[in-house]
Chains A and B, each alone.
Chain A
Amino acid sequence: MDLILTPAQRAFRREVQTFLATHLTAEMRQGQMLTAGVYPEPDVSRPWHHALYRKGWVAPLWPVEYGGSGWTTIERFIFESECALAGAPVVYPIGVRLAAPVILAFGSEEQKRTYLPRILSGEDYWCQGFSEPGAGSDLASLQTRAVLEGDHYTINGSKIWTTHAHHANRMFALVRTANTPRKQDGISFIVIDMQSPGVEIRPIISIGGEHDINQVFFTDVRVPPSGLIGEVNAGWSYAKYLLEFERGTGLFSSRLRSGLKRIERAIDALEAADRHIRDNMDLMARLADVAIEIDVFEMLELMTLGLLEPGQRPGPTSSVLKLRASRLKQTVGELGVEILGPSALRWQDHPEDVLSVIVPDYLNSRAATIFGGASEVQLGIIAKSLAGV
């Protein structure tokens, strides 16, 4: 066992660094730096997505024949680390990392041909329609109905907390197609065109003051049967498959470290304004604590995912990673706020610089322990599947 990179891995790393140096623009880096939420706005992420697309690097987890990059997990780890440290925009993952694995595993050949190339090229922008007002942690109790009427499904109901629905042209959704004794047995996985008549979007403002999430209403929205992925009423198992990917394949550590790097830039800005942060041993000790947590989390992530083949399911340890990463995201944010001190009190009264983003980003990070399964739910999964109690 060792952490030494092979010559091929070293060469790959050089290649990534070179690519970043030539294709990552100052605007892209600035856009990511000013992102106070989970995903940057499409005008920030799209140009970077296109650059990666032209290089064949958009979809590390897909099979090569569909345009995947064919990397091992170690290579993906190297790639993600280099991108995050360079300040590259986060690649919007709802299509690439959530929709695509389900389509690849359970979709028809025709669906793969229809959807995958447009996800890869960035032409389609997806959103995830799982949660509903009455169905959050208890997702299986969802009520949005799809009824087969002649040659199409008719959809009625509402989804909530839908990230970037206002930017998306497609949604994958869980819908109720049958009333079964076990709620999970009557759910299907369906693709909805967001431009369809009857789709309405209401913005929701987040705790950090941003518009990222929405409520989406469906009134007699028509979807052709070709939008149904896999078997009817088998959607629950596809959703569980997807959630494992959502929780466990993100490689969060490098993004956590870039959060730390952003705080370092904030410290520089404060020092330049004569606020002496680096002399403050209390703050420096806190900074060290957080950096140490990230150091160890990096190894935890590598250790957990490093031996997986691409496409292999991460299993219940994905909950361990999700839990740790979400809390660490909040810890990093909290540290940023403490370092800002009184400057953190000024709400939206900073110029567009690193100081303007630390507080909204921290506030929004409170959602990290809620979405993708709340911490309490993850702990339940860990207790059951890992601890066996």
Chain B
Amino acid sequence: MDLAYSEEQLLFRQSLERYLGENYSFAHRRHVAAKLHGFDPEVWAGLAELGCFGVPLTTEHGGFDGRLVTTGLVMQALGRHLVVEPVLGSAVIAGRLIARVAHAAQRDELLTPLIAGTSRIAFAHDDLGTKASLKGGADGYRLTARKTAVLGGATADRLLVSALNAAGELRLAILDAGTSGVSLHPYQLLDGSWAADVLVQDVTIGSDRILGDGSDAGPAITATLDDGVVAACWEAVGAMQAAYEQTCAYVRERRQFDRPLAGFQVVQHKVAEMAVCCEEAGAAALLAALKLDSEGADRDRAVAAAKVRISHCGRFVAKEAVQLHGGMGVSEELPIATYFRKLLTFELMFGSSMEYRRRYVKTVIAARAHEMSAVLPAAERADITLPAA
């Protein structure tokens, strides 16, 4: 076991924090969210130069790291600064999905510009049960799909579209966003970032536009969406920490009744509870990332625990941050209201806590895995038995 971040990881975090501190003020963020469909090309280039988009990918796939823990550090910093650009959708989800499914030539073609920041890919998956379809054979396919809530879909140049083939297996097709027959309805999300609904109407595509070797993409999609949830967890942790820190600063400074708000014990206890929540959420995110980075881990357990617990802690921190700011917290005068919406967005994204609780029941509790440690790997041999009680 090694519970310390490496020197490299810490340096990387530092340089990203510095970059965002200097280039991503709240006023700038507001402008990007309101006026630029959540995408500032200069920031995107800056993040690419720092290496952010290569972090989620292994060196074998042309990336720089490939671990979710390091990806988490990126996401945490983005969360702190409320970055609206679609890093999660493009670099983490689309990037890792392509790495998992595509064959080598496709990987080079798609991931090299993605890492360099010259191409943004959005994963169009959720179709609310309308079942996107891929018909045809060796010399070409016809794709029809109606997708919703495509993260980064508003500004992507390529779309990665999931669809069922005749055999009922999932395939991934890659399309230029400008292809005729593809239409986008962009809209803003609750946190200020942008998504799109995507309509693909009977578009003809070559067989080389289907990712991989023709096997079912379902398992890779499931695994990658789990990665996405964990990355979003880290982003939420970053947002919580920033909201907490800004609240601490505010209650120290804001004076009412001839003393700082921090002079009231009730206020002290509230910020103390917020601190506890931030620590706990950090632990949940770390556990999930470390588990998913290791072979053969119980992904259901790690992901469900993180989503449920961070939602809970995030909700508490968001509410108290707003409450302790008074009128300042429920208006656009300060970033606090935006942190509130960001954390609410996290709760609602990728399914609610109720769904993850059900998942935990169905997989973890049903297997009685919850009787075992969550952090220690499964014991190697079960030949040591305790005397019966």
Contact = CB atoms under 8 A, between A and B. Distances in A.
Contacts of B149: 342, 345
Contact of B323 (A349, A364, A369): A369
A366 B329 contact: yes
Contact of B322 (A134, A207, A347, A376): A207
A342 B322 CA distance: 23
Contact of A337 (B189, B327, B344, B349): B344
A363 B340 contact: yes
A136 interface: yes
Contacts of A100: none
A349 B188 contact: yes
Contacts of B352: 338, 341
Interface string A128-147: 00010011111001000000
A370 B190 contact: no
Given A160-B327, A213-B331, A363-B340, A137 B256 contact: yes
B330 A366 contact: yes
A371 B188 CA distance: 29
Interface in A153-212: 160-161, 204-207
Interface in A107-143: 131, 134-138, 141
A246 to B, nearest CB: 16
A283 to B, nearest CB: 8
B272 interface: no
Contacts of B348: 337, 341-342, 344-345
Contacts of A364: 330
Interface string A358-389: 01000110110111001110010000000000
B319 interface: yes
Given A337-B348, A341-B352, A370 B323 contact: yes
Interface residues of B, number: 34
A346 B189 contact: yes
Contacts of A134: 255
Contact of A345 (B190, B255, B322, B337): B190
Given A136-B256, A344-B348, A207 B341 contact: yes
A376 B264 contact: yes
Contacts of A135: 256
Interface in B245-274: 255-258, 264, 266-267
Nearest to B129: A274
A375 B345 CA distance: 25
B340 A204 contact: no
B331 A204 contact: yes
Given A207-B337, A337-B344, A136 B327 contact: yes
A261 B216 CA distance: 46
B188 A348 contact: yes
Contacts of B264: 376
B296 interface: no
The range of chain A's interface size is 35 or more
B139 interface: no
Nearest to B33: A347
Interface in B330-389: 330-333, 337, 340-341, 344-345, 348-349, 352, 354
Contacts, number: 101
Contacts of B189: 345-347
A10 to B, nearest CB: 42
A352 interface: no
Nearest to B322: A366
Contacts of A337: 344, 348
Given A136-B256, A138-B257, A342-B348, A374 B188 contact: no
A137 B257 contact: yes
A359 B348 CA distance: 12
A250 B266 CA distance: 28
A139 B338 CA distance: 27
Contacts of A279: none
Nearest to B257: A138
Contacts of A160: 327
B162 to A, nearest CB: 17
Interface string B152-191: 0000000000000000000000000000000000011110
A366 B324 CA distance: 11
A136 B331 contact: no
A138 B258 CA distance: 9
B190 A344 contact: yes
A347 B332 contact: no
Interface in B271-288: none
B332 A207 contact: yes
A161 B327 contact: yes
A282 interface: yes
A269 B354 CA distance: 21
- Which of B323, B329, B349 has the most A CB atoms < 10 Å from its CB? B323
Contacts of B329: 207, 366, 370
A347 B331 contact: no
Nearest to A365: B330
A341 B266 CA distance: 33
Interface string B206-232: 000000000000000000000000000
Contact of A205 (B195, B331, B341, B354): B331
A26 B301 CA distance: 51
25 contacts: A135-B256, A136-B327, A138-B257, A205-B332, A206-B337, A207-B322, A207-B340, A274-B129, A280-B354, A341-B348, A341-B352, A344-B190, A344-B348, A345-B149, A364-B330, A366-B322, A367-B327, A369-B323, A370-B323, A370-B329, A370-B330, A374-B323, A375-B323, A376-B264, A376-B266
Closest 3 CB pairs of A and B: A138-B256, A207-B337, A349-B187
Given A348-B188, A374-B326, 6 more contacts: A342-B149, A346-B187, A349-B187, A349-B188, A363-B340, A376-B264
